[in-house]
Amino acid sequence: MKLFGTMEINNKGHLKIGGCDVVDLTNKYGTPAYVVDEDLVRERCKLFKSNFSYKKMDTEVIYASKAFLNIAMCQLVKEEGLSLDVVSGGELYTAIKADFPVEKIYMHGNNKTIEELTMAIEAGVGRIIVDNRQELELIESLCESLNSKVDVLLRVNPGIEAHTHEYIKTTKNDSKFGESIFSEEIYKIINRINNSSHMEFKGLHSHIGSQIFQEKSFYEQSEVMLKFVKKIKEKCDVRVKELNLGGGFGIYYSEGDTPMKLNEFLKNMLENIEDKAKELSITVPKIMIEPGRSIVANGGTTLYRVGGTKKTYGGKHYIFVDGGMNDNPRTALYGAQYEAAIANRMTESHEDIYTISGKCCESGDMIVKDINLPHPNVNDVVAVFSTGAYNYSMSSNYNRLPRPPVIFVKDKESRCVVKRETYEDLIKNDLAI
């Protein structure tokens, strides 16, 4: 088990995050609760911002907000000087409400609705990432009726398979995202944008997957993309000024996960791009990346209370906690692995192999499978680590469970930044027949 950021164990054997005893946090805010180590998240933002630079290259780090987004997170990202990538009207709305600088917002999505595109154009977002030809025509006509102009990147599929889970692989040739760089159509699309009076072609976007550990995949992606940049110059006489290489940097969830040393890797990646561009005799475009998970995952911890345990006739030992797949669907969805601890008895030795399961009515409702823990007692606090990304943002009200609150901790202080949902919240949109 790995402790992250400001985590420590106090003399009572309790886990502390941001200087706060998690047992005190559960008494104050109840369980389940998402706790975010603010210092660690800020440190990760700084790590990307300070290391994603090389010589005089123009670069930009864009936080992929789908990993974890609310007003407080927008404010944090703004303070740390990162840009923001949004994939829906809801994410865009949150960013606008948080006063996030609109020119630093990148609007993504493979099927943006007319309402979403209108909202993005009217708000004046920095870039719209065009997914396909049809969308191009839609943006063109919307801009015409709104009498405005947008800067766009074209999302392309470079056909690279990064070693990652099937559902989070996005760049195989059959991926639903972007237009393939191998199709001849693509040059027509680029010409189409370039000749438009409502769109300014800024460059390209690609994203090769998530939870990637191999540096090689990113080098391969940069190389393929730079070659494509050259081809566009030759075939369309259009200069790609910006190259957005997406996110996907892997993080540590559990034993066997081997994240890249980002501080070295980010510089190496840029150096490599500069070298490749020289080799190909092309001008180095501005390079952007969009980390999501690697900014927030390790900074998040979910706290639950143990309701009971059960040893099945078949011999499986369950710990039942007061949350489940509604606050963390990743185990059920991807077979994700997490580390966890009994947070009020951190120094006790492990006794058995347990499966931490929730209270949802699904056999697949598991949070951590087969983990070594001390024997849990009713009311013990279970901490599940590295839940900062794709937990809160993927949560649901399945079984009409209210979503947990989000608590930021820092310097011995805690602040609730998203309130716990109430039963009243659950029915607020219900209408009687």
Ligand X SMILES: *Cc1c(COP(=O)(O)O)cnc(C)c1O
- Residue 247 as a binder of ligand X (CB under 6 A): the answer is yes
Token readout for 5 is 């950021």
Between 40 and 319, CB nearer to ligand X: 40
- Residue 325 touches ligand X, criterion: CB under 6 A: no
Residue 214: CB minimum distance to ligand X, A: 14
Please give the C-alpha separations between residue 159 and each of 174, 180, 280, in angstroms, as whole numbers: 9, 7, 20
DSSP of 225-278, one letter per residue? HHHHHHHHHHHH-----EEE----B----STT-----HHHHHHHHHHHHHHHHH
* Nearer residue to ligand X within complex by CB, 44 or 207: 207
Is the omega angle on the peptide bond into residue 32 within 30 degrees of 0, that is, cis? yes
Among the listed residues 246, 324, 329, 405, the single contact to ligand X using CB under 6 A? 246
Q: Which is nearer to ligand X, 16 or 293 (CB)?
A: 293
- Cα distance between residue 73 and residue 50, in whole Å: 20
3-class DSSP state of 20: strand
Q: CB 390 → ligand X: shortest distance, Å?
A: 7
54 φ/ψ sector (left φ>0, alpha ψ -120 to 50, else beta):
beta
The correct pick among 16, 42, 78, 108 for binding ligand X (CB under 6 A) is 108
Residues in region 252-291 near ligand X by CB under 6 A: 290-291
**Closer Cβ to ligand X, 66 or 305, answer by number:** 66
At residue 145's C-alpha, the angle toward residues 142 and 150, to 5°, is: 50
**Is 292 among the residues that bind ligand X (CB under 6 A)?**
yes
| Minimum gap (Å) between residue 20 Cβ and ligand X | 26
Nearest distance in Å: CB 207, ligand X? 4
Token pair, residue 40, equals 């660690």
- Strand 406-410 to strand 413-418: parallel, antiparallel, or no bridges (unpaired)? antiparallel
The CA-atom distances, in angstroms, between 97 and each of 73, 81, 206, 240 are 12, 17, 28, 32
Complex with ligand X: residue 85 or 380, whichever CB lies closer: 85
Can you read off the two tokens belonging to residue 53? 């630079």
126 near ligand X, rule: CB under 6 A: no
CB of 59 to ligand X, least distance (A): 16
| CB-nearer residue toward ligand X: 191 or 254 | 254
Q: Does 299 bind ligand X (CB under 6 A)?
A: no
User: What are the backbone dihedrals phi and psi of residue 350, each rounded to the nearest 5 degrees, phi first?
Assistant: -75, 140
67 part of the interface to ligand X, by CB under 6 A: yes
Task: Say whether residue 207 binds ligand X (CB under 6 A).
Answer: yes
Q: Rule CB under 6 A: say whether 164 interacts with ligand X.
A: no
Catalytic hit among 20, 143, 236, 361: 361
327-346: contacts with ligand X (CB under 6 A)? none
Determine the distance from the C-alpha atom of residue 37 to the mean position of all C-alpha atoms in its chain, rounded to a whole number: 16
Active site residue 361: yes
300 counts as binding ligand X under rule CB under 6 A: no
Residues of span 25-64 touching ligand X by CB under 6 A: 64
Residue 82 C-beta-side C-alpha neighbours within 13 Å: 32
Residues known to be catalytic? 361
Binding site for ligand X (CB under 6 A): 64, 66-67, 85, 108, 207, 210, 246-249, 290-294, 389
